[in-house]
């Protein structure tokens, strides 16, 4: 069997049958596949036992706090970081031992990384010139890429003559102009202001769908991940905590870490005081709630009731489980309000609710509630009970 470099550059002719088999295998392969990846710097293990399969044409986000390994993984695909173990496959071909220039990868950096002395045309055309694309084709492709990022007619401008959002669009055009197999986006929106970030989220997702390119996006911003992704990979300390659709990881977090990191859920520890039909949990704060566990729970067992702030209602509209408390703080957000409520024993819960009447004030007694099926249960080890 030829090694991976031979497979990619393949100077040797293949039989028609072998070529057909290879084409069929590539068509059925994931766009990107990580197989038990380890990445270490000396004794420090940055990523351990990382496995992930990414379907062609999908938008996958690596989400997690700083230092969790998400950018390291992204850079390993591009060949900017060496892996210590495992394999990286692109379209069914191993690439982790292939030189960077032989990997057909588009990369958008957080810092744009445009050449300041080159105009927009030369910045966007750089990868095409490196690949010896004929001049007329370069002109056509650059024009198409600039149209796609909505910056036609800027070919002669320097990066310094563009806004931050425009520079990011040029960086995106440069990454997609040579039609890469995979587009890597390393926190590309973090340097933009809030309004521009929101606009660029829409633009990036639109371009990704139009081109059908497979995209891997790295961010620590939960809103970006939830709004843009087909699937989210939540990472912590170099390992995967959960992989799923935005709705899956938000509504049914697999671990305490995912519940807390993604949306800051309310984590209410308690003890099962009634099992069977009508399972009840007495919270550490002293109040009792009804829950709907996915399987029978042992009476006396320790659990954590996880409730998203958006699942809580306040005032007379409180759900089937009603908790008495006192408002510690209230933030008015226009169509909604965020409350911090003390439900006893120093336990604070957070509610994010639409405003249907007045906003409750600090120090005011209040009822907050949720439906029994509106929560997730974790065991003593912080794993979702399923």
Please report, for the domain that includes residue 279, its CATH number.
2.40.50.140
* Percent with pLDDT over 90 in the chain: 73
96 and 217 belong to one structural domain:
yes
Are residues 234 and 317 both part of a single domain? Answer: no
The answer as to whether 14 is a domain residue is no
Residue 167, pLDDT > 50, answer yes
Residues of the domain holding 325: 264-378
Q: How far is it, in rounded angstroms, from Cα 189 to Cα 109?
A: 9
Give the domain-ending residue among 193, 217, 251: 251
Residues 228 and 334 in one domain: no
Judgement on whether residues 90 and 209 belong to the same structural domain of the protein: yes
Regarding whether 277 and 232 lie in a shared domain, the answer is: no
Tens of pLDDT, residue by residue over 223-277, are: 999 999 999 999 999 999 999 999 999 999 999 999 999 988 999 999 999 998 7
**Whether residue 340 sits in one domain with residue 232:** no
The reply to whether 10 falls in a domain is no
Q: Answer yes or no: are the C-beta atoms of 283 and 335 closer than 8 Å.
A: no
- DSSP element (H, E) containing 201: helix 194-211
Q: Please tell me the predicted confidence (pLDDT) of residue 317.
A: 56
pLDDT at residue 213 in the model: 95
Q: What's the confidence (pLDDT) of residue 101?
A: 83
pLDDT digits 0-9 by tens, 188-199: 988 888 888 888
Burial of residue 358 (number of CB atoms within 10 Å: 0-12, 13-18, 19+): exposed
pLDDT at position 301: 95
Domain with 38 in it: what CATH number? 3.40.50.300
Give the Cα separation of 228 and 246 in Å (integer). Answer: 9
Q: How many domains does the chain divide into?
A: 2
The average pLDDT across 54-62 equals: 97
Does residue 336 fall inside a structural domain? Answer: yes
Largest distance between two CA atoms of the chain = 79
Helix (H) or strand (E) holding 283: strand 280-283
β-bridge partners, 7: none
**Confidence category of residue 8, pLDDT binned at 50, 70, 90:** very low
How confident is the model over 269-287, as a mean pLDDT? 91
**One domain for residues 246 and 274:** no
Close Cβ partners of 187 (under 8 Å, ≥ 6 residues apart)? 71, 110, 218, 219, 220
Q: Mean pLDDT throughout 343-347?
A: 88
pLDDT at site 30: 93
Burial track 8-44 (b if 16+ CB lie within 10 A, e otherwise) = beeeeeeeeeeeeeeeeeeeebbbbbbeebebeeeee
Q: Say if residue 104 is in the same domain as residue 148.
A: yes
The size of the chain, in residues, is 386
Report the DSSP beta bridge partners of residue 15. none
Do 297 and 211 share a structural domain?
A: no
The pLDDT, as a whole number, for residue 3 is 39
Residues 278 and 163 in one domain: no
**In DSSP terms, which residues pair with 172 in a beta bridge?**
none
Taking all residues of the chain, what is their mean pLDDT, rounded to a whole number? 89
Which helix (DSSP H) or strand (DSSP E) does residue 359 occupy? none
Quote the pTM value: 0.87
Of the three residues 251, 279, 297, the one that is the final residue of a domain is: 251
Instruction: Tell me whether residue 17 is in a domain.
Output: no
Q: Let me know: does 343 contact 359? Beta carbons within 8 Å.
A: no
The pLDDT tens digits for 106-132 are 999 888 889 999 999 999 999 898 888
- Residue where the block lists tokens 């604070």: 348
User: Which residue, of 190, 223, 251, is where some domain finishes?
Assistant: 251
- Domain identity same for 139 and 191: yes
Q: 310: pLDDT confidence band, cut at 50, 70 and 90?
A: very high
Of 55, 79, 70, 153, the residue nearest 110 (C-alpha): 70
Beta-strand runs (E) in 103-193:
105-108, 182-186
Residues 231 and 268 in one domain: no
């Amino acid at each position: 069997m030829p090694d991976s470099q031979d497979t990619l550059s393949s100077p040797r002719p293949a039989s028609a049958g072998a070529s057909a088999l290879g084409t069929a295998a590539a068509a059925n392969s994931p766009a990107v596949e990580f197989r038990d990846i380890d990445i270490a710097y000396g004794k420090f293990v940055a990523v351990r036992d990382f496995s992930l399969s990414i379907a062609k044409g999908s938008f996958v986000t690596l989400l997690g706090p700083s230092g969790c390994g998400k950018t390291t993984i992204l850079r390993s695909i591009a060949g900017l970081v060496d892996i210590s173990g495992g394999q990286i496959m692109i379209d069914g071909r191993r690439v982790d031992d292939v030189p960077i220039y032989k990997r057909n990868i588009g990369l958008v950096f957080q810092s744009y990384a445009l050449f300041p002395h080159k105009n927009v045309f030369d910045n966007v055309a750089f990868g095409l010139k490196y690949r010896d694309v004929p001049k007329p084709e370069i002109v056509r492709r650059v024009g198409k890429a600039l149209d796609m990022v909505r910056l036609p007619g800027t070919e002669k401008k320097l990066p310094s003559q563009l806004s931050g959002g425009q520079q990011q669009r040029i960086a995106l055009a440069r990454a997609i102009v040579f039609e890469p197999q995979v587009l890597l986006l390393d926190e590309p929106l973090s340097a933009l202001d809030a309004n521009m970030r929101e606009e660029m989220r829409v633009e990036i997702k639109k371009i990704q769908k139009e081109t059908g390119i497979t995209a891997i996006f790295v961010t620590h911003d939960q809103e970006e991940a939830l709004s843009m992704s087909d699937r989210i990979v939540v990472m912590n300390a170099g390992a995967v905590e959960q992989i799923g659709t935005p709705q899956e990881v938000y509504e049914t977090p697999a671990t305490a870490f995912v519940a807390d990191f993604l949306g800051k859920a309310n984590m209410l520890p308690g003890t099962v005081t009634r099992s069977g039909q009508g399972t009840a949990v007495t919270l550490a704060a002293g109040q009792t709630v009804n829950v709907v566990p996915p399987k029978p729970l042992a009476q006396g067992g320790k659990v954590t009731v996880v409730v998203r702030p958006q699942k809580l209602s306040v005032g007379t509209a409180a759900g089937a489980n009603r908790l008495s408390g006192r408002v510690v703080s209230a933030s008015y957000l226009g169509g909604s309000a965020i409350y911090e409520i003390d439900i006893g024993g120093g336990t604070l819960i957070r509610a994010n609710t639409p405003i249907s009447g007045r906003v409750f004030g600090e120090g005011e007694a209040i009822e907050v509630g949720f439906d029994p099926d509106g929560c997730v249960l974790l065991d003593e080890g912080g794993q979702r009970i399923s």
